[in-house]
Every structure is written in structure tokens, then in C-alpha cells.
Structure 1
Amino acid sequence: MTTEVDEESYASKGDQTTPLDVCQSCDESDVKDVISDNDSADYSTLVDVFLEENPLDGPLDARLGHYSCKFVTNIPPSSDDNDTSNPRLYFDLGLRHFFAYQHEEAYRFFLACLTLEPDCAFAHGMVALCHCPNYNFRGDAYYESTDHPEEEATIFSEAGENGEDNAVMRRMYPSQQVAAKHAFFAMEKINELKKRHLQANHRTDGSIPHETTKRSSQMISDIEIEILSAISIHASQPGIHPNLAEGTVGRPYADALRRVHERFPEDAEVSYFFAESLMVLNAWNFYEYPTGRPLSKDVEEIECVLERAFQLHPRHAGICHLYVHLSEMSSHPEKALSACQALRTDFPDAGHLIHTPTHIDVLLGDYESCVDYNHHAILADLKIMRRSPDTAGTESFYFGYVVHNFHMLVYGAILGGMESIAMEKAIELNQYLTEDLFINNPDLAIYLESYSALDIHIMVRFGRWKEILQVSFPRYPLLMLFRSASLHYARGLALANTGEIDQAIIEANLYDELRLNPSAEKRILHNNKVSALLAVDAPMLRGEIAYFSGKYDEAFPLLRHAVKLQDGLNYDEPWGKMQPLRHPLGGLLCDQGRYEEAEQVFREDLKLHPKNPWGLAGLIICLEGQLTLAQGSCCSKCSEDEITVAGREMKDILLEVKSLRHALAEQRKSKYADSFDITAPCACCKKML
């Protein structure tokens, strides 16, 4: 996903430009002009004007911690976060936004740093990284959508005959070409600084000053040079074919950073850059389920790097963030809880960092925290949306993270049985994801339209069959493909559950027409294609129609196939489907008295979704149903000790049921629990607690 930003040329703004203006409106050719003509730049004027324009009222007041990267040269350290005359302020703010995954906002702060200190080569490298692949945006999705060859021409172009051709440009973010140019600028600056250093430390006659003579500083550190050299590899081939990117730039970048890490193993930034470079190459594919076996040697190396880095830097935003992502796919996600705590408390305006720990909450069955902290993340992101609408508004790249917070909140609320808060946030999200937004920005539909159906999935989860049948279809079904298909799916379920089988079949046919449309292959919902998600629900819908038609032998194979397809989706957080399909499968098995089969279904569900009230209710129904059958088959003189179910004594099963009921009651104590009473694993089931 790319966003266009209007940027007036720095030269046209004259003395009215401030460092913050530059970070929000300059283009890369202007930065080059500043670099090549720094002697004539009136930086004091820029700073004076900036100070007059309430400097702490804009992005500078973001509460993103106080972290500062110490090894960066040519920008003096500052103990005052309000010292707007110091380029260090802008660099550190850029770095904090970078670790918060607010990359577009971050790169503008790095540009602002460069207006005050053009010799900060590392700021160029960070601009390049802001435009490069990252853990959440890499591979085909990145390389196919960020190749803007027109950028290469405009970066170095001269004004036309009328002198105004480049006064206003349309800038794209992210851009491989911008990344490449800033990586080039960084290497160019390294060479310039080395040359200056050599000249400063040698006499005009070529002799070297005596040891007792004071020499010039190094001007750029070895660690900077090595990191920037690695970044130059990463960004060296704009326009590269996606199939070639890993072998040509991705893997060599990681290899280069490995060498840097071998030399500087305790540095936080080096550890972060190296770990992320390997994680990008193995994104969302770290461990085998359920064994927890690492899927590659890269994963073993990532573990070693992050485990050590986390011990050394337990509150570093970037390292904590990556540590959570690594841990969530491991056999022990709980090991990331201390990293989660740091992210939640140290960076109150970093929406994505507040959100990320909820990946762990869901895996541990803490659905209240999932809802709670995604709510806090949404509030934090609303601040940056208001503050910087061009880098965080609905047409920005970052808005995808905002939407993800809503998605995760609704998912946690659905799984935790919290209907009211789920629907409240789904409706709030749909105020952004309007049909008009996608009409005006059709490219956004590829990534964001699939989030517009959350309200429909909530109604399915809570069995709101009447309400589903009252929902209107979008004006343009193909534009709103996922919402339209989800509505056909929901209508089919509603009609099947209310006995309107013929109408349900019509909806299923319409659903298939939409899901098989070629555009579904191009749409995604985070880590999964929309076509794959819709394929899961096809046998689910047909299975329920068959079930309510009395065709049980046809229904259960279809429902089991839907579960198998759901299990085969790419790892995602939240999971690709809003409702675990083991719930209707297990519930309908219970309705047919097939309790032992259903028990295995719900036990597997509770491994995947610990403590979820739907699975707990289903397992209780299974066990109590088996007990009832066992008691009915025994003579009246049998004692509890003599009654067994599948080899287990009755008293043991009663103890488990008591424990399960307690767990269910504890879940329903959540502050977000409402009047909806979970008495069955699915709204399609007749057997209840």
C-alpha cells in the first residue's frame, strides 16, 4: 500500500521554512540541495521560526519514551527534549517513531534532522530504512507496490523552462527509489566525512601531526559506517523483481548485518536491525505447530540474538516488539510477558506497540486485556491521526495499523463473548471504511476492505439472524467484495438456521459467485488472501445447510473440511477467521448425541484458544452429556465409583466439569461482559448448559 503526499519544494518556502516544515513537506531533491550547499543555508533562521510556531504542540509532544541512540555522530547529545535547536532532538524523535512502526512520520523527522545537520549520515540511512521492507510489509506485497521509477527522475531533476515544474510534486510512500537514493546519500556522506577527516589530521605538507598534537575527531563512527554499508545493500536495486529480491538484496543485507553484529554484539540497534532482517526473510513462519520446532536455522539465530538483546536491553522498544512477534509463534508465548509490560507502559502514544502485546493476551486466553489494550492503542492512534493526518490518516500507510487494532479488539471481544464492545468498535471502524473511501481510493480496497465486515461476523457469532437479514448490501458488490460475500454467507446461515433452506441455497450460490471472482485473489486480510478465507466458509455454509436439511451424513464431512481449511490458513494474529469453526462442528455433534467426537473437537479448540467461553461451554455439554448417557446405561444400584466414561471415573469427570464451570464463570466476570449469556458453543446449537 502506498500513499501520496503533496510536498512543496523546500526552496520555494524561503525563510518561512522550519525544520518541522521540512520534515513534513520537503522532497528528497531538496535534501540533496541542502547537503551540497550547507554553507549557505540559514539554519538559525529556520530554528527561530520553528520556535515561534509552538514547537511542542505538534508531533513533538508524542509520548514515545526518551530513548536516544548514542553512537550517532555529528549530532551532539542533549538532555533537553525541548531543545529544538539541536538536530539530535529530531533524530531521536525519528528513531522513536521508527520503533513505533510509524515509519512515514519517522522519515520526516530524519529529514528535519538533516536540515539542521547535513553531516548526519545515519539520518540518511534511517530515511532509507523507513522506505525499505519491514516485518509487517515485505516480499511480493512490498516489491510490487513500492516501485516508482518516476521517483528516480524527480529526485535529481532540474526545474523546467518556467522554473516551476517541480514546485509541487506527488511523493509516494514507501518508495524503493527514495530508499536507494538516501542509501546513496549516506555512502556519499561517509566518503566526504572520511576525506575531511583525512585533511584535518594531515598537515598541508602531507606530514602527520605528532602524537602530542590535538587531532580532529573521527567525524563518523565505525559502527555507523558498517550499518550504513549494509543498508546500501538492502536498498541497492530499486525495481528488482520480487522473485529475485530475497537472494539479491534481502539475504545479503542480513549477511552484512551478521558481520556487524559479530563486531558489536551488545549494541541494541545492531541487534534490532540484524534480528529484523532475518525475521523479514522468515516472516510469520518461525515454528512448527504443535511441536515448537524451529523451521529454519535463521529462526535459531533470531532466538539467540533476541534472547541476548532482551537480557541486555529489556525495555528497548524495537527489541521488545520483535521479541513478542517471535514468542507468539513459539510453544511458550508467555515468556514475552515482561516485554509486553514494557511496551504497554513506556510508550503510551505508540498505538502499535501498545497493541502488539495483545497477540500474547489472546494466546493465553486473556480476552479482557486484548480488548482493553487495543482500546488504548486506538486512542493513541487517534491522537496521531489528528496530529498528522497526512502520515496517519485514512489514506496513509499507517492507517493499516489503526485498522488492525480495531480488528484485534473485535476478535478478542468475539472470542471472549463480549458482544456490546465488539459491535461498538466495528461500527466505529466502519465510519472510516466507507464505500466512498474505496471508490475514491480503489487501491486501498486491496488491503483494507476486508476489515469492513466485522459487524457481520459479530452478528453471526451471536446468532443475530433477524438483524443479519435486515443489513443492506453495498452499492458496488465487487468493490466491497469481502463485505458483500460475508453478507451472503451470513444470510445463508441465518436462513438455514430458521428453516428457509431454499433461500439459504440461493445465498450460498451467490456467495460462491463472489468468492470465485478473480479479484478475491488480489485482496488480502493481513497474512491471508481473501480468496483463502472465503474458501474456508464455503463448506461451512454448505455444511450447515445440509445439517438443517437433515442430511447429517453430508453435513459433518463438510464441516470437518471447513475446520481443516481453517487450520491450513497462514498464521495470523488475530487468526484469519473471526469464529473458530470447531465451535459449530462440536456443537452440532453434541446435538446429535455424538459427545465423544465433540469432546475431542472442543479439547483441540481450547488448546488453540485457551479459556474461551464458547469452547468451555461446549466441553461442559460434552462431558455432562456423556455422564447422563453413562448413568442411564447403569443399573440403579451403581455407585459413582463404578460409573466410567471412556475409561475415566465419574468423580474425575465431575471434578473437571466443576473446574470448567468455574473457568467459564471467571471469564464472564470481565468488565466488558454484557447480558449475552453463553450457554452453547455456537448459536446454531440446540444443546445448552
Structure 2
Amino acid sequence: MKPVLLLLLALSGLLSAACRQTSSSTPSQAEINAIGLKRGSITMCGPATGPQLGTAAFGTSCPSAVQPDFNLALSLLHSFEYDEAEKVFARVIAQEPACAMAYWGVAMSCYHPLWTPPSPAELTKGAKAIALAQRLPGKSARETAYIQALATFYQDWERVEHKTRALRFEQAMATVYAEYPQDHEATIFYALALDAAADPTDKSFVKQKKAGALLQGLYPGQPNHPGILHYLIHTYDYPELARLALPAARQYASVAPSSAHALHMPSHIFTRLGLWDECIASNLAATESARCYAASAGLPGHWDEELHGLDYLMYAYLQQGKTQLARAQWHYLDTIRQVSPVNFKVAYAYAAIPARYVLENRLWKEAARLPPRPGHLNWEQYPWQAGIIHFARALGQAHLGQPDSARREVATLRGLQEALLQQKDPYKATQVQIQLLAAEAWTLLAQGKAEAAEQRMRQAANLEDRTEKHPVTPGEVLPARELLADMLLQLHRPQEALGAYEANLTRHPNRLNGLRGAAKAAAQSGETVEAARYQQQLRKLATVALNPEAAVAHLSLYRRP
């Protein structure tokens, strides 16, 4: 055989092998189907001109034809519209099954940092998607870095706890950020990873401040980037830092009005700063958008995001003394029979909305017999949320002079705390412990054991001061230090009560009961100037509650289309 012919045969064999390798490395349809991708057209509610989600872009090695969809999915991802983002990433995969970054996008949609840890089903899906992304050839070094960073989160997820894997992702994204300092998306996702891995007990806010500096550095040049605005709000969602996020909070909803979550998120900062009018406007828009989404997407019942916004609405109305409108949230909640999906924030809203109303209004008889609603919800799956109901009952019974009944509620709280410790959920166990200590304190006071009661109440307040609230809630159903102030006032120690009220108002500005208590304590202490100052704040804050007819008219806003 001639040398030239031998050479051609060898080259042909090499090309054939290369083709076979490329073909085998592209996921089969069976492998793609095994991921269990969400599919279908995206559902968005908002401006009639079409989806408005801000501007985010990520150059990939995938064909240019799918780049607009990839950027759309990225914008949805940055606003935590995870289901819709996954649908668009799935659409990219359907067009270009070899697009590695689309599988990365699916895995990111399953992670949802800053929220609840992924379920086993989500972790399984994310792990399958990121494994396919790792296998695919033709990726750039930058894309490989992103994929490998996310793979550290999914690695050994069956055996390694969520917190450890979140820390691994943070460290991996630090490397990506260092290797690609001009890549703005690397900076943004690194900031997100820092926030997700931050220690909730770290009062120096080391990681949050680092994330904030990174995002603030990008903000002037990209004022319409949904991730920058969104993550600035989360980064600074603390009493000590909240004012730094106010510009982002006042811009985010206008940048991404098609996202119900983007409409709601600014209210985190408005709540922290006691800006109740803005908080109410934010959540009226968000809950309306959530109802529209549920109807448009054909969800069975209501969307979970709506109930989240209702809890924030309840809290804000109560702080303005709008009792009828606050009560309307509870009445409306009682009409909701089905929610999709049922999860921890749905259970939280079902527990917190009625508890807030009865406790803030000092309706001790209603609090003492507050039932867990809806009855069909499996409350055993949600010990933290169930604890809110028992906390409200204990306070109601203690204030009615029923310490024996209150002690039974305290015992239940102790059991719920133990359940959370067994589940290795220390944060939620601590939240129940705070309520347990407070409930025990008021039970002891009802028994005439003032010294022991004060000791327990101080323990609760100090423990709460060392922890931060979860993003699921606008605030504690009753702040522990405010409860301590109430107790000191009841014990005829107004000067000490005033100090406790003032400390609580620093962390919870413009709380109606905090201002009322401070005004009363100041007056009883002979602090006439301080009493007048608090009375002035109350007149400015507490608008006259609307009449029942206005409340009924307002309730029409909540009727599902």
C-alpha cells in the first residue's frame, strides 16, 4: 500500500474516532430527560409591553442563536425566579444539548442560596445537571471554572451538610473571581456566595461587608442589573447596615417589575428602616403579581410568594395602627385553601399572620386559644412555625392568669426545640428557644415569681440580640427586648423599661408598640421631654385605622382573578 494511502487511512481513522468521541460526549435525550427539567413557556406578570427583568449578560461558547435565551434565564435567576429560569435554560438545552453552561444554569436554579436549602429532589437534579456540564467538551476555561465551582456544592451532597457545601462554593467562587477580575458576573456570583455562606451570628458582618463592597463597585456602571440590586438588598438586610441598601431598594422593583420577588424584596429594607408606606406599596404590588402568576401558570390554588408578601403586609399595617386592614389579611388568609408549592414559608405565613394580629393588639383571649390553621397542613414537618402558635398561646394564657395552661405550651415549645436540634437545624432551634424562654418568663410572672421571670426574659432578649432574623419574616412576632420592656413596666420600673424600649427601637425603628411603651415609660419616669418626643413620633406614625367598609373595599385587591 502506498504511503500516501496509508496516511489518508490513518487520518480518516483519527477523524472518525474524534467524531465518535464528540458524539458520545453530547448528552443523549435519555440523559437529558433523566434530569427532570421543568419545561414550557415562561410565565411572567407585569408591564403590558412584555417581560422586564433588568439587564444581565453572560458570554458563552454556545451558539449565538441561544445567547438571548441564556441571558433571559440569567436575569430570571438573579431575581430568584427559579422555576422560570429553569424553563428557559431547558429551552437552551433543547436547542443546543451541548451547551454546557445551560446545565450549569439548571444546577444554579436548584441551589437557591439565601433561601431554604435544596430538597433531596432538587439536589439530585442539580447534581445530574452539573455532571453533564462537566462532561461536555468545548467549554472555555472561564466556563469550566464556573462549572467546577458549582460542582463543589453538589459534591457528596448525600453525606456533607449544606453549610459545609455552601462554604465550599464560596471558596471556589473566590478563585473564579480572582482568575477573572474583569468578569462582572464572577464578581456578582462571588458576592452571592459570600452572603449565602455568612455566619448569622457574626455581628461584625465580615462577609456581608465584603460582598457589599464588591457589588457597590459594580453598581454605578450597571444600575439596571437585577443581581446587583437584589443582592445589595440581601447583603445589607440587617439593622446596622440597612440604610446602605436604600438606593437599591428604591430602584429594584422598577428595574424588574415582571418579577413578583423583585417587587417584594425592597420591603426587606423598608421594614428594617420602619418605612411603612413604602413597605405596604411594595407588598401590595408583589402580592398582586403573585396572584397573577398563579392564575397565568395554572397553579392549583395560590402561589407561595403571595403568602410571603401577606405576612409583610400584616406586619406593616399593624405598625401604622391600621387594624382593619391588618385583620383583612388574616380573613383573606383563611379563604386560601390550596397553595403551591407547600413549603416552609407557607407554613410560616399561616402561623405568623394570625399570631402577629392577636399579640400586637394584646388580644390575649384570642391568643390563648389560637388554633393551627389550616388543619390539613402537616405541622409536624414545621416545628419552628408550629412554635409560633404555641408561643402566642402561652403568652395569652400567662396574661390571663392561667399559668398551668401556659406551662403546657412551654413544654410543647421545649419538645419542638428538641426536634429541631435532632434535625441538626441550630438556627431554627435557637428561634424556638427564644420564644420558649420568653413564654416561660411570662408564665413565671403569672405565678408571682418576678425575679425568675425577669431572668428568663433577659436571657431571651440577649439571645435574640445575638441572632439575626430569617429572610422569611419581616420581624419577630414580638421582639424579645420589647417584651422585656413590657415586663419591666409592669413591674413598676419605668426607667429600666424605657432603656429596654429604646434599645429595641434601635433595631426595630417605628414599631408602634415600642413607641407606645417608650412614651408611657418616659412619662412614668418623669422624662417629660422624652415622653413628648415619643408622642410626636406616634402622631406621625399611627394613622387613623380605616373603617370596616374601607377595609372590605380594600380586600377586593386580594381576590384572585
TM over 0.5: yes
For 1:261, which of 180, 187, 208 is the aligned residue? 180
The amino acid that maps onto 2:349 is: Y
Give the residue type in structure 2 aligned to 1:30: Q
Partner of 1:279 in structure 2?
195
Quickly say closer, same or farther: Cα 1:111–1:364, change in 2 above 3 A: same
Match of 1:493 among 395, 420, 441: 395
Partner of 2:228: 319
Shift of 1:607: 0.6
In 2: Cα distance, 1:433 partner to 1:493 partner: 28
Contact persistence 2:319–2:512 (CA under 8 A) = yes
Q: Does 1:307 align with 2:206?
A: no
Cα distance, 1:358–1:300 mapped onto 2, change above 3 Å: closer
Equivalence for 2:244: 335
**Residue aligning to 1:453:** 351
Matches of 1:576 and 1:256 in 2, distance apart? 36
Q: Is the 8 A contact 1:491 1:504 kept in 2?
A: no
SS at match of 1:131: helix
SS in 2 for 1:516: helix
The offset of 1:109, in angstroms, is 0.9
SS at match of 2:53: coil
Pick the aligned partner of 1:179 from 126, 129, 152: 126
Instruction: Give the drift of 1:547.
Output: 3.4
Cα deviation for residue 314 of structure 1 reads 2.2
Q: 1:417 aligns with which of 300, 317, 321?
A: 321
Distance, in Å, in 1 between the alignment partners of 2:54 and 2:412 is 53
Tell me if the contact between 1:433 and 1:449 (Cα under 8 Å) persists in the aligned partners: no
Instruction: State how far apart, in whole Å, the 2-side matches of 1:68 and 1:303 are.
Output: 19
Contact 1:186 1:228 in 2 (8 A): yes
Please identify which structure carries the higher helix content: 2
The partner residue of 1:623 within 522, 532, 556 is: 522
Tell me: CA distance 1:408–1:30, structure 2 relative to 1, closer, same or farther (3 Å). Answer: farther
**1:94 aligns to 2:73 (yes or no):** yes
Counterpart Cα distance in 2 of 1:180 and 1:477: 30
TM-superposed CA distance for 1:304, in Å, is: 3.2
Q: How much has 1:237 moved relative to structure 2? A: 4.5
Using the size of structure 1 for normalisation, the TM-score is 0.65
Q: Go from structure 1 to structure 2 and tell me whether the alpha carbon gap of 1:56 and 1:304 turns closer, same or farther (over 3 Å shift).
A: closer
Q: How far apart, in 2, do the equivalents of 1:522 and 1:423 lie?
A: 36
**The 10-residue stretch of structure 1 (229-238 or 92-101) with the greater mean CA deviation from structure 2:** 229-238
Tell me the CA shift for residue 115 of structure 1. Answer: 1.8
Residues 278 and 96 (structure 1), Cα distance of their counterparts in 2 relative to 1, 3 Å cut: same
Match of 1:136 in 2: 115
Read off the aligned partner of 1:374 and give its amino acid letter. Answer: N
2:407 is matched with which residue: 508, 515, 527? 508
1:592 shift after superposition:
3.9
Distance in 2, Cα, partners of 1:551 & 1:274: 52
Q: Which residue of 1 aligns with 2:366?
A: 467
Deviation, 1:459, is 0.8
Classify the secondary structure of the residue corresponding to 1:328: coil
CA distance in 1: counterparts of 2:246 and 2:72, whole angstroms = 26
Change in Cα spacing, 1:380 to 1:311, as seen in structure 2 (3 Å) is same
Q: CA deviation at 1:588?
A: 3.8
CA RMSD of aligned residues (A): 3.8
Contact 1:606 1:612 in 2 (8 A): yes
Letter in 1 for 2:406: E
Q: Over residues 217-276 of structure 1, what are the superposed CA-to-partner deviations in whole Å (9 max), with x where a residue is unaligned?
A: xxx7664454344344444555342279449942552233223432x2xx3322211212
1:556 to 439, 451, 454: 454
Contact between 1:528 and 1:570, CA under 8 Å: does it hold in 2?
A: no
Matched residue, 1:572 = 470
What CA distance in whole angstroms lies between the structure 2 residues aligned with 1:88 and 1:617? 56
Q: Match for residue 60 of structure 2?
A: 72
Residue of structure 1 equivalent to 2:293: 384
How far the C-alpha of 1:335 sits from its partner, in A, is 1.9
Distance between the aligned counterparts of 1:57 and 1:276, measured in 2? 25
1:428 counterpart letter in structure 2 = Y
Per the TM alignment, residue 599 of structure 1 is displaced from its structure 2 partner at its CA by 1.4
* Per-residue deviation, 1:332: 3.6
Per the alignment, do residues 120 and 90 of structure 1 end up closer, same or farther by CA in structure 2, a change over 3 Å counting?
same
* Residue equivalent to 2:439: 541
Q: CA deviation at 1:586?
A: 2.1
Distance 2:159 2:492 in 1: 59
1:373 maps to a residue whose letter is S
CA distance in 1, matches of 2:516, 2:450: 23
Contact 2:398–2:446 (8 Å) recurs in 1: yes
Cα displacement (A) at 1:373: 1.0
The change in CA–CA distance for 1:254 and 1:90 in structure 2 (over 3 A counts) is: closer
User: Do 1:489 and 1:537's aligned partners in 2 also have CA atoms closer than 8 Å?
Assistant: yes
Q: Does 1:665 align with 2:539?
A: yes
Q: CA deviation at 1:462?
A: 0.5
Determine the C-alpha separation between the residues in 1 that align with 2:58 and 2:171.
26
Indicate yes or no: 2:557 matched with 1:610: no
> By how many angstroms is 1:512 displaced?
1.1
**Matched residue type, 1:185:** L
The alignment-based identity, stated in percent, is: 18
- Residues 261 and 270, structure 1, Cα contact 8 Å, conserved in 2: yes
Contact 1:543 1:558 survives alignment (8 Å): yes
TM-fit CA distance, 1:604: 0.4
Partners of 2:518 and 2:87 in 1: how far apart? 54
The 2-side partners of 1:236 and 1:432 are apart by: 39
